[in-house]
């Protein structure tokens, strides 16, 4: 069962058919799906076996949302989860020391076409972007769409989305569907067309270039340019009703995009929804897991696990991602295989258009050693 407040479950009953057909025997911990609205009986009816925690932790392959307690595992077992290895090197080291094979699903080479259906980052970020706007709408003290009544006209809410990756684009689209006027920013100039395609208005910053690395993530920016982006976007947000921050740099703390000084200039009743409260927060005043109100009446929402607030949908998407991934490792003749020829496991070969130096795929470690391609990760162990 997922712990530490996690409401999602890694495998849902609808995934059983595909897993069983691929030759797996599936053992589900008792009560694991309760928070995601899946009863033990549903799993049993779908062909799974229900067992206690100790029995589950003895299975050859463990699938979870987050890292489990490595001390409960034994040499040779395989763990597939969102390990967030750059932020938790001690847990990776524990896997190496105990000869556990670690498959970190947040390291999926997202630009490989075959990896799209396995990309847990995108599936969960989509839901997070959607829910962030709903949280903002729930806390802002005014209506979102334009309303014309006999008592007067309510102007549409102004929403600013900071960052326009997967989560940001979904946030823009959701706010637009609710009837808001939406402005959005991104350090990738190429994002302008994407923003406009889902109904947003692009906030351009003077001197902007395409700050995107080979793996599709935003590059770290210079302090000077970060300041320029902050000043420009926070200026646009000064009269906004809802501000959603989405900026996340892979393997690094969340960048501050809303400094405390900017919050003092936001209007009373404005809502800041910080989508990265779990990794330090984009807003300097965010308190992880809390909703706070500043002296000037700005509401800051620091919900730490946005996909977890939509546990049923998030579990279904995660389960689809993991089921597609796990079954892809089954060879008809040799069964389940961890192959060095699989680009999703070990990253694209050098010279390939998708090759990223120092970045392997989801295979972090095996047989007591970090995978040779994980040189970036090796630098923090």
- Give the total residue count for the chain: 381
Phi first, then psi: what are they for 321, rounded to 5°?
A: -60, -50
Strand partners, 147: 154
**Residues forming the active site:** 110, 116, 119, 122, 217
Residue 270 phi/psi, 5-degree rounding, is -65, 150
Rg (CA), the chain: 22
Nearest CA-CA partner of 199 in 179, 213, 215: 179
Give the separation between CA 194 and CA 29, rounded to whole angstroms. Answer: 42
Comparing CA positions, the residue from 66, 63, 109 lying closest to residue 278 is: 66
Closest CA to 271 of 232, 244, 233: 244
Q: Is 137 exposed, middle or buried (0-12, 13-18, 19+ CB in 10 A)?
A: buried
Which letter does DSSP use for residue 223 in this model?
H
Provide the total of helices (H) and of strands (E) in the chain, helices listed first: 12, 18
Instruction: Return the structure tokens found at 241.
Output: 């009703």
Q: Which two tokens stand for residue 98?
A: 């105990």
Task: Please tell me the distance from the alpha carbon of residue 277 to that of residue 248, in angstroms, as a whole number.
Answer: 10
Burial class from Cβ neighbours inside 10 Å (0-12, 13-18, 19+) for residue 370 reads: buried
**C-alpha of 315 from chain center:** 13
* Angstrom distance (rounded) from CA 332 to CA 338: 14
CA angle centred on 355, ends 225 and 364, rounded to 5°:
95
Bridge-based pairing state of the strands 299-301 and 330-331: unpaired
Per residue in 36-58, is it b (16+ CB within 10 Å) or e — as a string? bebebebbeebebebeeeeebbe
């Amino acid at each position: 069962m997922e712990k530490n407040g996690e409401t999602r479950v890694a495998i849902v009953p609808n995934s059983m058919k595909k897993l069983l057909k691929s030759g797996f025997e599936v053992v589900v911990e008792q009560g694991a799906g309760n928070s995601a609205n899946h009863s033990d009986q549903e799993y049993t009816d779908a062909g799974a076996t229900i067992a206690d925690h100790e029995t589950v932790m003895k299975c050859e392959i463990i699938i979870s949302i987050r890292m489990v307690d490595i001390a409960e595992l034994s040499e040779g077992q395989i763990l597939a989860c969102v390990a967030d290895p750059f932020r938790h090197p001690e847990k990776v080291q524990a896997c190496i020391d105990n000869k556990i094979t670690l498959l970190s699903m947040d390291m999926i080479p997202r630009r490989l076409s075959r990896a799209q259906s396995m990309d847990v980052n995108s599936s969960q970020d989509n839901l997070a972007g959607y829910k962030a706007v709903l949280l903002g709408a729930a806390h802002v003290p005014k209506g979102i769409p334009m309303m014309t009544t006999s008592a007067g006209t309510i102007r549409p809410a102004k929403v600013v989305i900071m960052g326009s990756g997967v989560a940001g684009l979904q946030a823009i689209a959701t706010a637009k569907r609710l009837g808001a006027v939406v402005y959005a920013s991104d350090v990738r100039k190429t994002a302008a067309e994407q923003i406009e395609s889902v109904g947003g208005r692009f906030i351009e910053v003077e001197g902007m270039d395409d700050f995107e690395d080979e793996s599709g993530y935003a590059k770290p920016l210079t302090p000077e340019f970060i300041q320029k982006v902050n000043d420009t976007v926070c200026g646009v947000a000064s009269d906004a009703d809802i501000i959603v921050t989405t900026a996340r740099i892979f393997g690094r703390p969340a960048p501050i995009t809303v400094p405390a000084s900017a919050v003092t200039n936001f209007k009373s009743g404005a809502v800041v929804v910080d989508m990265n409260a779990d990794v330090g927060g984009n807003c300097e005043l965010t308190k992880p897991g809390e909703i706070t109100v500043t002296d000037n009446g700005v509401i800051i929402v620091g919900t730490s696990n946005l996909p977890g607030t939509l546990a049923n949908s998030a579990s279904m998407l995660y389960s689809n991602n993991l089921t597609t991934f796990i079954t892809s490792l089954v060879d008809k003749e040799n069964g389940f295989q961890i192959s060095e020829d699989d680009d999703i496991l070990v990253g694209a070969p050098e010279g390939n258009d998708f090759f990223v130096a120092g970045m392997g795929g989801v295979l972090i470690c095996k047989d007591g050693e970090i995978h040779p391609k994980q040189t970036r990760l090796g630098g923090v162990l």
